[in-house]
Amino acid sequence: MLIDTKYDPSEIEGKWLQYWLDKGFFKSTPDEREPFTIVMPPPNVTGQLHLGHTLNNTLQDILIRKARLQGKNACWVPGTDHASIATENKVIEMLAEKGINKKDLSRDEFLKYAWEWKEKYGGIILSQLKRLGASCDWDRTAFTMDDNQYQSVIKVFVDLYNKGHIYKGVRMVNWDPMRQTALSDEEVYYKEVNSKLYHVQYQVEGTADFITVATTRPETILGDSAICVHPEDDRYLHLKGKKAIVPLVNRVIPIIFDDYVDKEFGTGALKVTPAHDENDYKLGMKHNLEIIDILNADGTLNEKAQLFVGKDRFAARKLIAQSLEEGGQMVKVEEIRNKVSCSERSHAVVEPKLSMQWFCKMKDLAEPALKVVLEEELKFHPKNAVNTYRHWLENINDWCISRQLWWGQRIPAFYFGTGVNDFVVAETAEKALLIAREKSGNVNLEIADLKQDEDVVDTWFSSWLWPTAVFNGINDPGNADVKYYYPTNVLVTGQDIIFFWVARMIMAGLEYEHEIPFKDVYFTGMVRDKQGRKMSKSLGNSPDLFEIFDKYGVDGVRVGVLFSSPAGGDLIFDEKQCEQGRNFANKIWNALRLIKGLEITETESTEHNAVFEWFENKMSESLVKINDAFDKYRISDALLETYRLIWDEFCAWYLELVKPEFGQPIARNVLEKTIQYFEELMILLHPFMPFITEEIWQKLGERKAGESIMLLKWSSKKSNNVLVLQQGEIMKDLVTGIRNVRNQNNLSPKESLEVKIKTPQRENYAVFEHLVRKLANVSTLEYVLEKVADAKSFLVKTDEVFIPLEVNAEDERERMLKELEYNKGFLISVEKKLSNERFVQNANPQVIDAERKKKADAEAKIKMLEEGLAGM
RNA sequence: GGGAGCUUAGCUCAGCUGGUUCAGAGCAUCUGCCUUACAAGCAGAGGGUCAUAGGUUCGAAUCCUAUAGCUCCCA
């Protein structure tokens, strides 16, 4: 019936995926059951499935599938993020290929192209997630730019504006001159580069004196409005009240004193350019300095620079250095390594730039968000992420939420005049008009007179509403879905977006639902290759996932990814681990082949009752460990325990114990038990390997249409018979010991052996006796009171086992002496401990008892060995 | 510069409130087996001064301090 000894997942996976989708097993609607909810971190709509998603979504799927098996109403909401900058870049690239320049398009025309692009490519990653087996309620698929989400964002913007959290202002922002947009602090990364530190002389006005400053950005000299030195710096005290002359442009600027300056750094004198440096800006505000912005939006110099107008900032830098050199004002040029900030989107060097932007005040939002985490109402796994979180929230800056882009939610601010305050904020133009008429006092204002802000909000300003907005909680507060599913149970995401996203979702959740958005956050690590390098396009070390799916099966890859990522650490990807997953699938497949290949006899058998008892206890024992690992979000530990239970206990021991001899039939009752256990094991494994477990379960019995392993129940067994577990271990030790003797003596497994056991507790062996005979090919098994001469021996716990064989007395003697020596040494260390008064006084009584038992055991072994040696 | 973390077998990591024969697992390696479920397998074996140096303790991989190396986050 089942021919191939190799499991072939290719057709099976597609078949069951379609079946699950057709039957609607992933769907969820509110009912009386306990909900278990996860909202998927929405991948960029531009994205393709990579290993990071695979890890992340496999973990979520495992949690969701387990909850579903536990009878909870599991709901996993999928979706994509419109990713304003990333997508806009893609669309611009696409247009460029067609020979179209964004600048030649109107906003509406551009957005039309963008939506077309989204419709065409935006579904790719979702279908890839389906292939992974992600059991999302696909009917709930959300997109951060769909109507509901768009309206939610606008509503929240207006609300926060009205509450005074959102304001418009001129601030120093990170400016990306290539994309010509502001970036949030989080979208900037720092790159270490070789650069030059220029030491430039400024003449002190009316003297022949010079003051030297050091700068890496000499072009900003043109925007200087002061020189600053430390008020206690003896070198410069005489310059109090003096002015300096800016080289090249000969502007006269004040020399100011502020303890912000580090006396030790460079020359101790700092040039202050308030328009082009965050710290200089602060100094400028404090000392009321002129702000001279010398850069255009595209990074070229403007008229305020006076020189090199129209030149790019980097070209200007060289030209200015040259001019200073020629004018004799360059004291020296040093080679240094420093860090420059770059845009995550365009990788261009970011300019600190003064710009009119929209901001969201964070302090009031941050406080409650910090509290719920510190008080563990909301738990982080691993725990140490709390430190990072706290540090950020305690030092939080206002959030620059405007972006000079088109693809995104357009800021709902409407301008009715040219004055700084001639605008209103409202959800629609109609509403804006009413307010604008009032504010302006001009009752004749019409919608046509209003001009909406050109900017959109930061992408994260939509995704921070995700856990609420996917249930329409912002537009329809308190609706049945949001009441049932919110707060969600767990968020699974990367540590890298703890600030961008996690912290802000907590803020938004508390602000709009007055409740945390999720109870637990499981942070995954970073994805690296075998050499520990980050996966990146430029390194080309990102494997082709679909090739790997084909090669090892999706189940195999899911297992491989988990094995590569122990307990939430970094994912160090190695294909080898997928091979292990595939081999595991094959092992299970062959267990099925064994069971399906057996002939059945109706004769009832009782000889395996002890085995059933033992295996049921073994499963319970593992179940406790598995559940515990799940509770602690140690998902790969849960998998490893399941793997061991199935491979080592079920396949290697249980099946071998119940397997009839070759050609013999199996008793129906034994087969039924076996199938029952196999089914239970498949349920435990299902969250990890959904496809093969469905296939096996379907094949294990007669199934009706519409049945599925997904609809079964997670075991809640709790047998705990310690004795039978111990007897099982004794049985294994005995079998292993006999096999060892065979191995060491080059005896074929076909040659049966006599075994004699010297034990005061025969009952420990009795229950499994007949099985040991079979597993270890034992001809006679008997119990003895005395040592057996001319035999190989080994220990099972403290019992001695003898196998009569030709023995080399000298070898045996040596082995025993070695063992004796070891035990004597061990005894000494135990006795030392026990004779130490302070140990006996201070140690826990249980520990002392354990030590006494160790002592007794060691003494017994020593006695036995000594007797044995004496008898030789 | 500030913060967090890591360093245990060849590799990836467990080791929870110090105390079982505590030095572990999986993979890899080696040896022997095509033993009729499975060579994608079976039966075995070897392999580590728990980064280094101090300290606390009756007792330290585990707690403390310093040093070195690595990683991440923030400025």
Task: Look at residue A93 and tell me whether its pLDDT is greater than 70.
Answer: yes
> How far apart, in whole angstroms, are the C-alpha atoms of residue A37 and residue A517?
11
Output A543 or A737, whichever has higher pLDDT. Answer: A737
Share of chain A above pLDDT 90, in %: 40
The pLDDT value given to residue A711: 96
Give the three-state DSSP class for A390: helix
Nearest nucleotide relative to A278: CA against C1':
B75
Which of A32, A357, A18, A52 shows the shortest CA–CA distance to A181?
A357
The pLDDT value given to residue A577: 84
Nearest nucleotide relative to A7: CA against C1':
B40
pTM here? 0.88
pLDDT band of residue A275 (cuts 50, 70, 90) is confident
Distance of A530 CA from B10 C1′ (whole Å): 14
Output A578 or A154, whichever has higher pLDDT. Answer: A154
Nearest nucleotide relative to A663: CA against C1':
B36
Radius of gyration of chain A (CA): 37
* Cβ atoms within 10 Å of A517's Cβ, excluding its own: 27
Q: Which two tokens stand for residue A505?
A: 């979702």
Task: Look at residue A536 and tell me whether its pLDDT is greater than 60.
Answer: no
pLDDT band of residue A703 (cuts 50, 70, 90) is very high
Nearest nucleotide relative to A574: CA against C1':
B12
What average pLDDT does the segment A599-622 reach? 90
Distance of A115 CA from B2 C1′ (whole Å): 44
> How far apart, in whole angstroms, are the C-alpha atoms of residue A848 and residue A833?
9
* Cβ atoms within 10 Å of A282's Cβ, excluding its own: 13
Residue nearest to nucleotide B58 (CA to C1'): A839
Task: Region of A746 please: left (phi>0), alpha (psi -120 to 50) or beta.
Answer: left
Beta carbons of A132 and A51 less than 8 angstroms apart: no
Nearest nucleotide relative to A744: CA against C1':
B44
Which of A25, A42, A26, A118 shows the shortest CA–CA distance to A78?
A42
Nearest nucleotide relative to A585: CA against C1':
B40
**DSSP label at residue A138:** G
Nearest nucleotide relative to A566: CA against C1':
B13
Strand bridging mode A666-667 / A753-758: unpaired
Which secondary-structure segment (H or E) carries A148?
A: helix A147-162
The pLDDT value given to residue A391: 82
The pLDDT value given to residue A533: 59
Distance of A137 CA from B33 C1′ (whole Å): 50
pLDDT band of residue A140 (cuts 50, 70, 90) is very high
Helix axis angle, A635-644 to A51-69, nearest 10°: 70
Cis-peptide, bond into residue A382, ω within 30° of zero: yes
Distance of A383 CA from B63 C1′ (whole Å): 20
> How far apart, in whole angstroms, are the C-alpha atoms of residue A506 and residue A592?
47
Which of A159, A127, A153, A112 shows the shortest CA–CA distance to A47?
A127
Which of A447, A427, A430, A458 shows the shortest CA–CA distance to A162?
A427
Distance of A550 CA from B38 C1′ (whole Å): 21
The pLDDT value given to residue A768: 84
Task: Look at residue A385 and tell me whether its pLDDT is greater than 90.
Answer: no
pLDDT band of residue A525 (cuts 50, 70, 90) is confident
Q: Which two tokens stand for residue A638?
A: 């849960």
The pLDDT value given to residue A675: 96
Q: What does the pLDDT look like over A156-183, one tens digit per residue?
A: 999 999 999 999 988 788 888 888 887 7
Beta carbons of A573 and A545 less than 8 angstroms apart: no
A221-225, A452-456, A564-568, A678-682: range with lowest mean pLDDT? A564-568
Distance of A572 CA from B48 C1′ (whole Å): 23
3-state SS record for A81-136: ECCHHHHHHHHHHHHHHCCCCHHHCCHHHHHHHHHHHHHHHCCHHHHHHHHCCCCC
- Give the bases of strand B that a protein CB approaches within 7 Å: 2-5, 11-14, 19-21, 25-28, 35-45, 57-59, 72-75
Which of A463, A518, A466, A523 shows the shortest CA–CA distance to A498?
A523
Task: Look at residue A187 and tell me whether its pLDDT is greater than 80.
Answer: no
pLDDT band of residue A572 (cuts 50, 70, 90) is confident
Question: Per DSSP, which regions of A184-225 are E strands?
Answer: 188-204, 210-215
Output A621 or A151, whichever has higher pLDDT. Answer: A151
Distance of A626 CA from B61 C1′ (whole Å): 26
The pLDDT value given to residue A807: 67
The pLDDT value given to residue A582: 92
Nearest nucleotide relative to A854: CA against C1':
B20
Distance of A212 CA from B74 C1′ (whole Å): 31
Distance of A349 CA from B25 C1′ (whole Å): 47
Distance of A52 CA from B38 C1′ (whole Å): 33
The pLDDT value given to residue A23: 96
Residue nearest to nucleotide B40 (CA to C1'): A583
DSSP string, A311-340: -BHHHHHHHHHHHHHHTT-EEEEEEEEEEE
pLDDT band of residue A3 (cuts 50, 70, 90) is low
Distance of A146 CA from B72 C1′ (whole Å): 35
Strand bridging mode A518-524 / A488-494: parallel
What average pLDDT does the segment A510-539 reach? 77
Question: Per DSSP, which regions of A344-396 are E strands?
Answer: 351-360, 379-381
Distance of A844 CA from B55 C1′ (whole Å): 24
Q: What is the mean pLDDT of chain A?
A: 87
What average pLDDT does the segment A815-831 reach? 73
Task: Look at residue A843 and tell me whether its pLDDT is greater than 90.
Answer: no
A406-415, A593-602, A717-726: range with lowest mean pLDDT? A717-726
The pLDDT value given to residue A419: 86
Nearest nucleotide relative to A662: CA against C1':
B36
Nearest nucleotide relative to A190: CA against C1':
B75
pLDDT band of residue A264 (cuts 50, 70, 90) is low
What average pLDDT does the segment A399-405 reach? 88
Give the three-state DSSP class for A274: coil
Task: Look at residue A833 and tell me whether its pLDDT is greater than 80.
Answer: no
Task: Look at residue A2 and tell me whether its pLDDT is greater than 60.
Answer: no
Output A183 or A618, whichever has higher pLDDT. Answer: A618
Nearest-5° angle of CA A787, CA A793, CA A795? 95
